[in-house]
Copies of this chain bind each other. A is one copy, B any other.
């Protein structure tokens, strides 16, 4: 089941997308597993079916899931798309924060040690 935050600034359709990607990336959902139908999921998380449809369409266009009229939606048998998406996203986020640090005049060492610090904090927190 997905956890939607209705107060977050992140669009609902993106939250759905990300959580499904995460479930697949972590193996909770596996290739060819069935996803809840658009209407079912919409009911479950009290959201408009159009919004779920939008998330599913986007995931299909990216090759993460496959949707078929009359039959439903399921995880793509091929996981390569999702791997590529994650690496691409994380790389661009890293690039962004590194650029930010450079603009703040931070040395390579400083950004490196800040990263290590935050990584440890996050690791122990969980």
* Chain A residues engaging chain B, CB cutoff 8 angstroms: 6-9, 11-12, 18, 21-22, 25-27, 32, 58, 61, 66-71, 74, 77, 86-87, 89-91, 93-106, 108, 111-112, 114-115, 118-119, 122-123, 126
Q: How many copies does the complex hold?
A: 4
Which one of A8, A32, A89, A97 has the greatest number of beta carbons of chain B within 10 Å? Answer: A97
| Docked complex Cα distance between A111 and B116 (Å) | 11
Q: Provided the pairs A66-B9, A108-B119, A108-B123 are in contact, do residues A93 and B100 lie with their beta carbons within 8 angstroms?
A: yes
Of B32, B99, B126, which contacts A7 at CB under 8 A? B32
Chain B min CB distance to A54 (Å)? 9
